[in-house]
């Protein structure tokens, strides 16, 4: 079976929006039983391509073939009817309904008088769930399931139609490592059944683990297809950004100042226990661990969002009690949150107003907001952080992820903080902007800020941190200097293995 | 017990616990404060309470459907009044009057069709323009009320048909006609929402509209049907009520929408849609009616009744929020 007919083929797709050529003659195919990665920076055209495939946008040129038959996807239902199924990053489930109702949403089996045929519904659903070997049944209410299991419900939905191709869009974004393993098994299963799989992700590690081929888009153009087994991360990255990404270990030994923040025996319910650490001025401390290890919760405590049950927080040697973010901000603590769009920015507001949001009260001229002062602050930090935007009037929602992140960082820098907490600084940011953000974090430390970086990406933690704190299930397992740390001992630490236990 | 079941149980059961508390309170308080000799928990008094619950209750069943669907209908009070006018006035039309008592089913039909048509107008506008149902029905509330006044100016519309009055005042198996209508509507709507594809789709659309659209549910027509159902029920409510009273004032039914929404929310239906139950709405309707009647029983005036119900509504929503966020370790904001 060397010359298989592709399960799905896109030929020379062109899609233009007013003023933009979003897709410029892109071709792409996925064979039956193949996992084909689609990669590219944000804005490279991946999502536009998938919207064309899903019937949300109509291409200006080019054609789509399912098997050997050219098709027109006029709307999302067409795609589904042709056997093209999407597993979206943001789950699209009705949480109050049962698993069965969600899987057969829009196609509930009927009896007379428009009644639901519950028996058939539950029997069919349980059959599909059995294939997926999941631990819940048709009658479970979706809202009570974990994110990973909700994703299984989406996948189960894909199995109700005779799927030719399944598109996974960043499926692991909110999964734990154990849950990822289950997902990968399901993908293997689909593969064996001869389904073609398009896998969209930024995570190289996963791409190299499960895909057969990798196709890369850049600036709306097709840049080539690589066979996964014959390439490496460098080659893919170069194809994606046109140069290679520096993720070498941090070797710098910065001049450290005084202790800016000290945390002693801090606990908060079951979220984390007896955590102690300090961060000096000029130092970047990376917090590494699995999702749920308690890192974000510590950051939220330092930012006054959570009340600790025990322990002390000392700022410049003085104990403080932080009851609200307003307290924390007044004490010089800033948080760049993980959920940038949800918690860090007002997307419908312009760049300038977002940047001056926390201090607009201090910028008043009489009863009015001093717009001139606001613009001055914006200009200053736009230049300092190299924020690329046509001007301060631009709505933040229209900026790229990297520039949005810089606006959030600029917002806090303009408040002259002591401690800057950055939670997952490069989540959802494309590779090119990633290195800029990394450099920015290093620069800030060099300028004397104390920086706490929370990240789930090991190369990132190793790249930016002077010291790395490993956490596991709410406990601080070990603190490494950049000289001590290796990938092995770091992985052991975040799995809960302490150095002394290993020796014993 | 699976996680989440206890809180679901608490929420489902809360309204009934509240009703029991009300009954106990008014029974005891009634002993000391009531002007009347009769006990609050008197059988006839309870039957009357059910009957008096019917006008709001019948509409509340439709409102549950609308709110579960993620919409709201503020025009039910005006629809109620307009349907009442059609009911009473149509019986005086010459060709109808000539039919004698045969005019009654036709008058009912005209009134109910009026309700369905008004609902269809709301639903069609929501469907085709995509304007929020709150705004559309706010406009309809004013517009339909305008029609009510155009019909007969400030004058009440009256027509007494004694056959109809006898029917409305009849008791079957001990329950009044109006009570039977309330129970039948409750049962029918329960069946619709829990057993039919249309009902389950209503939950799905309210819960996650995008998911419903992507699943191929035709959301627009679905919403329009629901507005026709609530229009029908608002008219049915008028039919049941005015068959007995025989006279409608142009301001009748004003603020009904708010009472109905209060009852539905007390019953635990989420304002954002996706969750709610017909049986709990029935509880919410009873709870409000007991409160109104009970406060009257112990000698409180109307203003006090409104104040108390307002406070209770806010307390209920606050408790509901507390119950919902506790498991999630809510962040302080």
Instruction: Tell me which chain B residue has its CA closest to the CA of residue A114.
Output: B196
Indicate whether B192 belongs to any domain: yes
Residue-wise pLDDT tens digits, A223-252: 889 999 998 888 888 888 776 666 677 766
Residues in B lying within 8 Å of A, measured between beta carbons = 2-4, 195-198, 200-201, 203-204, 207-208, 210-217, 274-275, 329, 331-333
Contacts B215 to A, Cβ<8 Å: 105-107
Look at residues B71, B205, B200 and name the one whose alpha carbon lies nearest to residue B125. B71
β-strand A368-369 against A364-365: which pairing, if any? antiparallel
Indicate whether B9 belongs to any domain: no
- Rounded Cα–Cα distance for residues A393 and A390 (Å): 8
Contacts B197 to A, Cβ<8 Å: 108, 110, 114-116
How far is the CA of A36 from the CAs of A23, A210, A437, B261, B288, in angstroms? 19, 9, 29, 52, 60
pLDDT tens, N- to C-terminus, chain B (333 residues): 344 455 566 666 788 888 998 899 888 888 877 666 777 778 888 999 999 999 999 999 999 999 999 999 999 999 999 999 999 999 888 888 888 888 899 999 999 999 999 999 999 999 999 899 999 999 999 999 999 999 888 888 888 888 888 888 888 888 999 999 999 999 999 999 999 999 999 999 999 888 888 777 889 999 999 999 999 999 999 999 998 888 899 999 988 999 999 999 988 888 888 889 999 999 999 999 999 888 888 888 888 888 888 898 888 778 777 766 544 444 444
- Rounded Cα–Cα distance for residues A262 and A397 (Å): 36
Residue A115: Cβ-neighbour burial (10 angstroms; 0-12, 13-18, 19+): middle
Indicate whether B203 belongs to any domain: yes
Backbone angles phi, psi at A368, to 5 degrees: -105, 155
Q: Is A56 on the interface with B (CB under 8 A)?
A: no
Domain of residue B133, residue span: 36-321
Helices B256-266 and B43-68 sit at what angle, rounded to 10 degrees? 90
Contacts A102 to B, Cβ<8 Å: 204, 211
Alpha helices in B91-218 (DSSP H): 94-97, 103-129, 133-152, 162-169, 177-195, 197-207, 209-214
- Which pTM value belongs to this model? 0.75
**Beta-carbon neighbour count of residue A262 at 10 Å?**
18
Q: Which CATH number fits domain A245-332+448-504: 3.40.50.300, 3.30.2270.10, 3.30.479.10, 3.20.20.80?
A: 3.40.50.300
The string over A413-435, giving b where at least 16 C-beta atoms fall within 10 Å of a residue's C-beta and e elsewhere, is: bbbebbbbbbbbbbbbbbbbbbb
Q: Are the CB atoms for B7 and B268 separated by under 8 Å?
A: no
> What residues does CATH 3.40.50.300 cover in chain A?
8-241, 245-332+448-504
* Domain CATH for B200: 1.10.3470
Look at residues B130, B221, B128, B214 and name the one whose alpha carbon lies nearest to residue A55. B214
ipTM of the complex: 0.78
Domain A8-241: CATH superfamily is P-loop containing nucleotide triphosphate hydrolases (3.40.50.300)
Q: What does the mean pLDDT of chain A come to?
A: 86
Which residue in B197, B210, B274, B330 has the most chain A C-beta atoms within 10 A of its own C-beta, making it the best mutation to test that interface?
B197
Domain count, chain B: 1
- The distance of Cα B207 from the centroid of its chain, to the nearest Å, equals 22
């Amino acid at each position: 079976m060397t010359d298989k007919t592709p399960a799905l083929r896109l030929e020379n797709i062109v899609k233009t929006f007013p003023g933009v050529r979003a897709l410029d003659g892109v071709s792409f195919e996925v064979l039956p039983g193949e996992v084909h990665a689609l990669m590219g920076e944000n804005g490279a055209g991946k999502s536009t391509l998938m919207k064309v495939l899903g019937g949300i946008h109509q291409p200006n040129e080019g054609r789509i073939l399912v098997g050997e038959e050219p098709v027109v996807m006029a709307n999302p239902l067409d795609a589904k009817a042709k056997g093209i199924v999407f597993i979206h990053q943001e789950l699209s489930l009705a949480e109050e309904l049962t698993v069965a109702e969600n899987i057969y949403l829009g196609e509930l089996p009927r009896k007379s008088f428009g009644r639901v045929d519950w028996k058939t519904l539950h029997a069919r659903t349980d059959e599909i769930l059995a294939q997926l070997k999941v631990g819940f049944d048709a009658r479970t209410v979706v809202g009570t399931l974990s994110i990973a299991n909700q994703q299984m419900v989406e996948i189960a939905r894909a199995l109700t139609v005779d799927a030719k191709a399944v598109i996974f869009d960043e499926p692991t974004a909110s999964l734990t490592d154990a849950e990822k393993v289950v997902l990968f098994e399901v993908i293997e299963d689909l593969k064996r059944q001869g389904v073609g799989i398009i896998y969209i992700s930024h995570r190289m590690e996963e791409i190299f683990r499960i895909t057969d081929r990798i196709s890369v888009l850049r600036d709306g153009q097709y840049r080539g297809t690589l066979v996964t087994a014959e390439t490496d991360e460098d080659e893919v990255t170069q194809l994606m950004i046109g140069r290679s990404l520096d993720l070498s270990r941090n070797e710098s030994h910065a001049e450290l100042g005084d202790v800016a923040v000290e945390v002693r025996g801090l606990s908060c319910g079951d979220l984390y226990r007896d955590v102690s650490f300090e961060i000096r001025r000029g130092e970047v401390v990376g917090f590494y661990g699995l999702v749920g290890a308690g890192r974000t919760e510590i950051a939220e405590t330092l930012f006054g969002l959570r009340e600790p049950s025990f322990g002390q927080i000392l700022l410049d040697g003085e104990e403080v009690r932080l009851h609200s973010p307003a307290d924390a901000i007044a004490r010089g603590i800033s948080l760049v949150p993980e959920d940038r769009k949800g918690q860090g920015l007002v997307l419908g507001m312009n760049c300038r107003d977002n940047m001056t949001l926390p201090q607009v009260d201090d910028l008043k001229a009489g009863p009015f907001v001093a717009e001139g002062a606001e613009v001055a602050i914006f200009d200053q930090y736009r230049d300092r952080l190299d924020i690329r935007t046509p001007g301060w009037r631009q709505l933040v929602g229209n900026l790229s992820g990297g520039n949005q992140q810089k606006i959030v960082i600029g917002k806090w820098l303009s408040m002259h903080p002591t401690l800057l907490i950055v939670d997952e600084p490069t989540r959802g940011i494309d590779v090119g902007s990633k290195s800029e953000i990394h450099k920015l974090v290093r620069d800030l430390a060099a300028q004397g800020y104390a920086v706490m970086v929370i990240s789930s990406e090991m190369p990132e933690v190793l790249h930016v941190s002077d010291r790395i704190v490993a956490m596991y299930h709410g406990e601080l397992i070990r603190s490494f200097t950049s000289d001590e740390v290796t990938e092995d001992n770091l992985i052991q630490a975040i799995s809960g293995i302490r150095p002394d236990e290993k020796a014993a | 017990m699976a996680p989440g079941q206890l809180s679901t149980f608490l929420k489902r059961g809360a309204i009934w616990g509240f009703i029991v508390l009300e009954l106990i309170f008014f029974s005891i308080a009634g002993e000391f404060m009531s002007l009347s000799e009769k006990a609050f928990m008197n059988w006839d008094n309870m039957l009357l309470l059910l009957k008096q619950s019917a006008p709001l209750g019948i509409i509340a069943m439709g409102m549950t459907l609308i709110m579960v669907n993620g919409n709201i209908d503020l025009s039910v009070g005006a629809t109620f009044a307009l349907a009442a006018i059609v009911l009473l006035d149509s019986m005086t039309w010459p060709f109808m009057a000539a039919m004698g008592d045969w005019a009654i089913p036709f008058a009912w039909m005209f009134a109910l069709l009026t309700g369905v048509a008004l609902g269809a107008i709301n639903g069609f506008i929501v469907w085709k323009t995509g304007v929020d149902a709150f705004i559309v029905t706010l406009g309809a509330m004013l517009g339909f009320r305008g029609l009510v006044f155009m019909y007969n100016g400030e004058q009440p519309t009256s027509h007494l048909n004694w056959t109809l009055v006898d029917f409305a005042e009849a008791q079957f198996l001990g329950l009044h006609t109006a009570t039977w209508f309330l129970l039948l509507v409750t049962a029918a709507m329960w069946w619709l929402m829990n057993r039919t594809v249309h009902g389950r789709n209503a939950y799905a659309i309210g819960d996650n509209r995008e998911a419903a659209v992507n699943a191929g549910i035709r959301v627009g027509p679905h919403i329009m049907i629901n507005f026709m159902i609530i229009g029908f029920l608002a008219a049915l409510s008028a039919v049941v009520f005015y068959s007995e009273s025989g006279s409608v004032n142009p301001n009748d039914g004003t603020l009904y929408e708010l009472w109905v929404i209060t009852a539905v929310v007390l019953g635990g239906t989420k304002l954002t849609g996706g969750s709610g139950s017909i049986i709990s709405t029935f509880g919410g309707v009873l709870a409000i009616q007991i409160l109104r009647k009970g406060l009257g029983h112990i000698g409180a005036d109307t203003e006090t009744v409104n104040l108390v119900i307002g406070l209770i509504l806010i307390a209920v929503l606050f408790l509901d929020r507390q119950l919902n966020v506790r498991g999630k370790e809510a962040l302080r904001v």
